Structure 1
Amino acid sequence: MSAAPRTARGVETRARLLAAAERVFADHGYHEASVSRITDRAGVGQGTFYLYFDSKFGIFNELVEDLNHRVRQAMSEGARGATSRLEAERAGFAAFFRFTAEHPALYRVVREAESVSPEALRLHYTRIVEGYIDGLREAAADGEIWDIDPTVAAWALMGVGEMIGMRWVLWGDPDAAPGGDADPTASGTGRVPDHVLDEMMRFIGGALGRPDLAQGPRPAAEEKEES
């Protein structure tokens, strides 16, 4: 990890470089990205880059960590004030989907880390799961959910959120019509529709031992689409 900047200007410059790297890695991928592309986008010289990062690989790793910190912060702030575990899950997922819509590079950067920096990939997911595990364990102790293995449940929940976000936020041409929910060629919508989030939470409610949430009436929007 690079040394932290000592001045406000240094903090701002480093943030600009990370923001530029986010776009460059998203647009070109790791192997086609370059330090010169990053500095050109940030509007700084290459010499300035090396004051903050030692290499393209170095800024890639720090970008993964930066995105991880920001998405966890967004989810934590989104779930703040929730009065139950299920409320916290819904609010946290909604915040995750908003963050993904604003920072679509999250998916490409994290997935590239599988081959570029496996350790960074593992750390990214592990940090997210750690918060889930604690929350699920507390909810089970309070009788809000079944007494399930919180580690297994946390990884499963993260997978649900990631796939829903990929399908509805990222896939396809954003200018095209969304198409039906079951259409594998349908375009993404840029956001997760309310009825999709409702169905997702019905599924999660049943999985966590809240069948009262899973067995309620289906959303009107979904019924209309199926008619």
Structure 2
Amino acid sequence: MRQPPRTARGTRTRQALLDSAEQVFAEVGYSDASIVRITERAGVGQGTFYLYFDSKLQIFEELVEDLNRRVRHAMTENATERMTRIEREREGFRGFFRFTAEHPALYRIVREAEFVSPRSLRLHYTRIVEGYIQGLEDAREAGDVGDIDPAVAAWALMGIGEMIGMRWVLWGRDGAAGGSSDPLASGTDVVPEHVFEHMMQFIERALDARPAATPSPVTKEAAL
């Protein structure tokens, strides 16, 4: 791996190549992407590419890391220590959906990583879920959520965010509004407020999932 750029100009050029790669990989996929396409989109010569990256695979893997860093920042930037766990979840999901609306390439690139670079895929999810698990463990110990399994809850919440994001942010970008079961028919690139609120109600109930009180047995006299 090459050393980070030493100048502000080099840092900008490197980021321009990553931004270009994000668009190229999203548009044509890893197989059809080329260094020529990436450098042309970035507006630099092909030789410049090799000042910062060794190969197409390396820039792909570093792009996954770059997107991961930025999406984690988007999910936590508005959270504060004084918030309840549910409030933190709310801010985290809003940040995630904003980021995916601005960077829909995240979905395709992460899915391609399963085949192109499984190591990068695992690293992407591991970095997100580790902090998630720790936050839920702390919330459980503080009595802020119910007696949940933090690992199961973290993976389940990540799944909710990913599928809601795909249905209303990614798949609806060019679609016309349609039925609830049609994944390509949300007609929007943002999660509608009513969808977001229903999702949060579901999450709030799940995280506060304490056993319901066992009803008292009905006696024969009471039944009469």
Same fold? TM cut 0.5: yes
CA shift in 2, pair 1:118/1:79, >3 Å: same
Alpha-carbon shift at residue 147 of structure 1 (Å) = 2.0
CA distance in 2, matches of 1:190, 1:81: 30
| Greater mean deviation of Cα atoms: 10-19 or 71-80 | 71-80
Alpha-carbon shift at residue 186 of structure 1 (Å) = 1.4
Alignment correspondent of 2:94 = 94
CA distance in 1, matches of 2:49, 2:22: 15
Alpha-carbon shift at residue 82 of structure 1 (Å) = 5.8
Whether the aligned pair in 2 keeps the contact of 1:170 and 1:188 (CA below 8 Å) is: no
CA distance in 2, matches of 1:172, 1:158: 20
Alignment correspondent of 1:222 = none
| Greater mean deviation of Cα atoms: 47-56 or 202-211 | 202-211
Whether the aligned pair in 1 keeps the contact of 2:2 and 2:53 (CA below 8 Å) is: yes
- Give the secondary structure class of the aligned counterpart of 2:189: coil
| Greater mean deviation of Cα atoms: 81-90 or 20-29 | 81-90
Alignment correspondent of 2:61 = 61
Alpha-carbon shift at residue 130 of structure 1 (Å) = 1.0
Whether the aligned pair in 2 keeps the contact of 1:167 and 1:188 (CA below 8 Å) is: no
Alpha-carbon shift at residue 143 of structure 1 (Å) = 0.5
Alignment correspondent of 2:17 = 17
The one-letter code matched in structure 2 to 1:73 is: H
Whether the aligned pair in 1 keeps the contact of 2:97 and 2:191 (CA below 8 Å) is: yes
CA distance in 1, matches of 2:134, 2:6: 35
Determine whether 1:111 maps to 2:108.
Answer: no
TM normalised by structure 1 equals 0.88
Unaligned runs of 5+ in 2: 211-224
Alignment correspondent of 2:38 = 38
Determine whether 1:151 maps to 2:135.
Answer: no
Bigger radius of gyration, 1 or 2?
2
- Give the secondary structure class of the aligned counterpart of 1:78: coil
Alpha-carbon shift at residue 81 of structure 1 (Å) = 6.1
CA distance in 2, matches of 1:188, 1:12: 35
- Give the secondary structure class of the aligned counterpart of 1:90: helix
CA shift in 2, pair 1:199/1:35, >3 Å: same
Residue by residue over 1:67-96, the C-alpha shift from the partner in whole angstroms, topping out at 9 and shown as x without a partner, is: 000000111103236610001001100110
Alignment correspondent of 2:51 = 51
Unaligned runs of 5+ in 1: 212-227
The alignment covers a number of residue pairs equal to 210
The one-letter code matched in structure 2 to 1:72 is: R
Alpha-carbon shift at residue 179 of structure 1 (Å) = 2.2
Alignment correspondent of 2:125 = 125
| Greater mean deviation of Cα atoms: 9-18 or 144-153 | 144-153
Alpha-carbon shift at residue 180 of structure 1 (Å) = 3.6
Residue by residue over 1:101-155, the C-alpha shift from the partner in whole angstroms, topping out at 9 and shown as x without a partner, is: 0000000000000000000000000100011111101110110111211111111
Q: Tell me the C-alpha RMSD between the 2 structures.
A: 1.5
Alignment correspondent of 2:203 = 204
Tell me the percent identity: 68
CA shift in 2, pair 1:133/1:198, >3 Å: same
